[in-house]
Chains A and B, each alone.
Chain A
Amino acid sequence: MIAEIGLASLWLAAALAVLQMLSGALALRASNGERSSLAVYARPAAVVQAGLATLAFLMLLYAFAITDLSIKLVASHSHSLKPFLYKLTGTWGNHEGSMLLWVAVLALSGGLLAAAEKRLPERTMHATLAVQGFVALGFYAFLLLSSNPFERLPVPAAEGVGLNPLLQDIGLALHPPTLYIGYVGLSVAFSLAMGALITRQVTPEFARVMRPWVLGAWVFLTLGITAGSYWAYYELGWGGWWFWDPVENASLMPWLAATALLHSVSVLAARDALRTWTIMLGVLAFSMSMLGTFLVRSGVLTSVHAFAVDPERGTFILILLALYIGGALTIFAFRASSVAEGKRFAATSREGALVFNNVMLSAILAIVLLGTLYPLLTEAFDVRVSVGPPYFNPVGAIFAIPMFLVMAVGPLLRWKSDKPDRIKQELAIIGAILVSITVLVAVLGTYGLLPVLGLALAAALAVAAFLPLRGRKLSRVPTAVWGMVLAHFGVAVALFGMASESAFTQEKLAAMSAGDSTSVGEWSITLDSVDPVAGPNWTALEARVSASRGGEPMRLSPQARNFWAPSQATSEAALLTRWDGQLYAVIGDTAGETADGTQRWQIRVWWKPFVTFIWYGGLLIGLGGVLAIIGRVRSDMRRRIATRLGDARRAELEQLEAAKTAENA
């Protein structure tokens, strides 16, 4: 029954998406003043659809919780012996389940938009809901026609196949859903942008409606990427935190677009400038998340993270991509010139700095996109290449360095027009830090150019992030400004972690037998023993390693794990976190025997100073975003309450007037 309820609610939700789309579109076609009788259905259809899609997802979650092996998806991705938590996370650890989660979140946010958003003109709202229904319909079709999660097996399986052991990890319990919420948030921003473009209502009011969605999506993307990077760092056991892998790029590109969108939507809300640019970024952000899905799921690119590859699905996603993004860009090409130009501003102004960084972010996005698609392009001519850090790091830095510099200064500038003279004190502080740190690091050791610049920029940015607070009464600073300060400081922290990791990391690969010692950096490392251990669904060889730098020795236990359902080997790195960095240990293969016949093992150890700051920075950026949302929503509420009170008072006054005139007469 469970599966049938889920499938039925999915079909019903799809039908409602059709209704939402049609009634939204018909309401648009009715000329001004006239009301289409179908228009009333758009909002309720979105709300009910949200309930049905959520119900479908809960049914699948339940089927995974009880390991219902008569459902094909459960049988091929779960196992009765799996820990309960991973049974639940297994729901979205596969293609069908993750698409269902995506659709459920999409329907939920559509419902929220339809139920709660009353500020937009009715026509714009209907256009938005029509686009939203159209987007949702495509994904329902994708699920129901090509990847039905509720398909039954003719004969229930005796036992499940299991979940890829790499995915049996708490990081994975949170990482994909977080990213999906981010992607879906961008789809709402896309629908809003299209609604505004179709009805030519690109106004500051529209920007204020769009902003919390963009901010929310951006926060989730930030946290999702941070979590994903940490997951790859400790689970894959390579000691790296970013590989410029296609799947990682697929999550980075929407983030870059969303970051640009977030800033330009703020300009639109505050100053009524950058109208077409904001619309373009709205389309771009969503198209990047769809393109990412296509690259990851279709298997056209090879990646270490590709867990659900199928060319048939690729075709489906490509068709959806052509419909939505192709359609949106066509409308943009014809309509954008009819959107009136926004307010003008000087080059040295807050807007000027934001536009500059918007362009830089877009350039970095273009570089990442080119690097990701380049292997695909050359493969069309039968040449195999792989594009990696030697391309992305320096080429990205060309645009990232000016961006960081402008980011330090931009928030100090005034809107509309400003003179650099006014902030020369602040400029001097930032410049002094940049020069002194660069010189200091360059004198102390020989490091690459990029890490040195990274360290200097991080220090300058960290100070510059707080400069906008100078001379202001802290208790009166708006929450949203605190959000900006925190997020910019988070960028500095993350940048510091990245630069420090790449400049100061020390690595040691040694063949050791029990009792042997080696050293890395200040740490001395001793292999005490290698023992077999067993977990709920795996066995492993565990190395007991003690590490010390002067004080008490600490124990690290890296494992080489063998899972039996499905059978696969993984490497579990052991991490020792200190405030100033992380010790990272991995056990590899046997390295033969010594002359007297004792077994030797490959032990690989890294000392990574301040590497944890990368993820602390990511968390701070996310937290900054949360503060900004709280601040914006609160001030919106206040404004709404104020207008309502004003309206009530005006009505009262009018009544009094009316009563008076009646009395006089």
Chain B
Amino acid sequence: MRLAYAIPLAIFLFILGLGGYMLSQPKDDAVPSAMISKPLPEFELPPATEGFAGASREDFVGGEPKLLNIWASWCLPCIAEAPQLEALKEEGVEIIGIAIRDKPEDVAQFLERHGNPYTRIGADEISSLMIEIGASGVPETYVIDGAGNIRYQHIGDIREEHIPLLLAKLGEAR
């Protein structure tokens, strides 16, 4: 047996091991934003529906840290997320919503059905803030400190178990 003839086998075993190892690792497809720990970009969005104020960067500056929640009435995980946002609101957290590519009547209907955790809702009709803030999808939630810096990004819907983590992040940002 010549050693050279075993080289293909050795290379193959390495690839096999790599494949097996990667397969056993949990797959994380989320793309973290490059904007974390940077100032929130300038923006000014009109109200998403009647009876609300729109949202701008200035609304985050000064006072307690706030949550910026990217959502939409057409987004199913946002329905699952609604009770958690409600719970955060009850903890005294101010949540400012950004409705992505939405219609005023749909936004109103969603709030009526699933409750309203927001103090303000801006309408982002062409996902412009989403792109600037580095969001990869809907829903996403950002912790913004009083100086207007992005401190933490939560990708996907907020589950019950995430609430303590978000509260801790809000505390750190104080």
Contact with A along B1-44 (1 / 0, CB 8 A): 11001101100110110111111010101000000000000000
Q: Is the interface of A mostly helix, strand, loop or mixed?
A: helix
CB–CB B20/A326 < 8 A: no
Known contacts A321-B16, A589-B126: A330-B27 contact under CB 8 Å: no
Question: How near does chain B come to A510, taking the closest CB pair, in angstroms?
Answer: 18
Question: How near does chain A come to B112, taking the closest CB pair, in angstroms?
Answer: 24
CB–CB A300/B5 < 8 A: no
Q: Quick check: is A226 within 8 A (CB to CB) of the other chain?
A: no
CB–CB A377/B16 < 8 A: no
CB–CB A336/B23 < 8 A: no
Write out the residue numbers on chain A whose beta carbons fall within 8 Å of the beta carbon of B22: 300, 376, 379-380
CB–CB B8/A311 < 8 A: no
Please, how many angstroms separate the alpha-carbon atoms of A315 and B22 in the complex? 10
Measured as residues with beta carbon below 8 angstroms from the partner, the interface class of chain A is 20 to 34
8 A Cβ contacts from A260-287 to B: 276, 280, 283-284, 287
CB–CB B16/A373 < 8 A: no
Please, how many angstroms separate the alpha-carbon atoms of A283 and B27 in the complex? 31
8 A Cβ contacts from A319-334 to B: 321-322, 325-326, 329-330, 332-334
Please, how many angstroms separate the alpha-carbon atoms of A316 and B5 in the complex? 27
Neighbour of B9 across the interface among A294, A314, A329, CB < 8 A: A329
CB–CB B23/A315 < 8 A: yes
CB–CB A300/B8 < 8 A: no
CB–CB B5/A337 < 8 A: yes
CB–CB A325/B2 < 8 A: no
Write out the residue numbers on chain B whose beta carbons fall within 8 Å of the beta carbon of A336: 2, 5
Write out the residue numbers on chain B whose beta carbons fall within 8 Å of the beta carbon of A23: none
Question: How near does chain B come to A638, taking the closest CB pair, in angstroms?
Answer: 38
Please report the total number of B residues contacting A with Cβ < 8 Å.
Answer: 20
Please, how many angstroms separate the alpha-carbon atoms of A276 and B20 in the complex? 29
Contact with B along A83-94 (1 / 0, CB 8 A): 000000000000
Please, how many angstroms separate the alpha-carbon atoms of A322 and B53 in the complex? 61
Write out the residue numbers on chain A whose beta carbons fall within 8 Å of the beta carbon of B16: 318, 321-322, 326
8 A Cβ contacts from A341-379 to B: 373, 376-377, 379
Question: How near does chain B come to A276, taking the closest CB pair, in angstroms?
Answer: 7
Known contacts A322-B16, A326-B9: A333-B23 contact under CB 8 Å: no
Question: How near does chain B come to A555, taking the closest CB pair, in angstroms?
Answer: 29
Question: How near does chain A come to B62, taking the closest CB pair, in angstroms?
Answer: 32
Write out the residue numbers on chain B whose beta carbons fall within 8 Å of the beta carbon of A299: 27
CB–CB A318/B20 < 8 A: yes
Most chain A beta-carbon contacts within 10 A, residue among B1, B9, B18? B9
Q: Quick check: is A147 within 8 A (CB to CB) of the other chain?
A: no
Q: Quick check: is A298 within 8 A (CB to CB) of the other chain?
A: yes
Neighbour of A291 across the interface among B15, B20, B27, CB < 8 A: B15
Q: Quick check: is A302 within 8 A (CB to CB) of the other chain?
A: yes
| Interface CB pairs A-B, < 8 A, 13 | A298-B19, A299-B27, A311-B23, A318-B19, A322-B16, A326-B13, A326-B16, A330-B9, A332-B8, A333-B8, A337-B1, A337-B5, A380-B25
Give the top 3 A-B pairs by smallest Cβ distance, nearest first.
Answer: A329-B9, A333-B6, A336-B5
